[in-house]
Amino acid sequence: MFSVATATMDGVPVIRLVGEIDMSNAEAMRAEVMRGVASAQAGLVVDLTEVTFLASSGLSALVRAQTEAERHGVVLAVAAHSRAVLRPLEATGVDALLLIHATTADAVAALRTGSTT
């Protein structure tokens, strides 16, 4: 089961993904994140806290989203804390490309304060 929803938290757009991200739905994830990047004023949070599996296609979608965010001058932050998400991010080095926070609230707060390190 996979779902994606967009909301706003303290004025920051948040894209919340739930379930497994694999090649069957990575394109839907990428498209939603790209829409978020295109419409974001300055920052966007991708909430992966309820993702239970992250395949290479999902990693690729995150890298493309980060590249697009940089091109648009948007800071992309990721909320993730589970081993199912952090392990593939770390194993591939994608974690070095992204601003990762343990919670959505932490990611939002970092964007609101400009603390992106």
pLDDT at residue 117 greater than cutoff 70: no
pLDDT at residue 21 greater than cutoff 70: yes
Q: What was the pLDDT predicted at 116?
A: 62
Give per-residue pLDDT as tens, 49-92: 999 999 999 999 999 999 999 999 999 999 999 999 999 999 99
Q: Which of 81, 60, 55 is nearest to 2 (CA)?
A: 55
Q: Each residue of 58-95: b (16+ CB within 10 Å) or e?
A: bbebbeebbebbeeeebbbbbbbeeeebbebbeeeebb
DSSP state of 94: G
pLDDT at residue 113 greater than cutoff 90: no
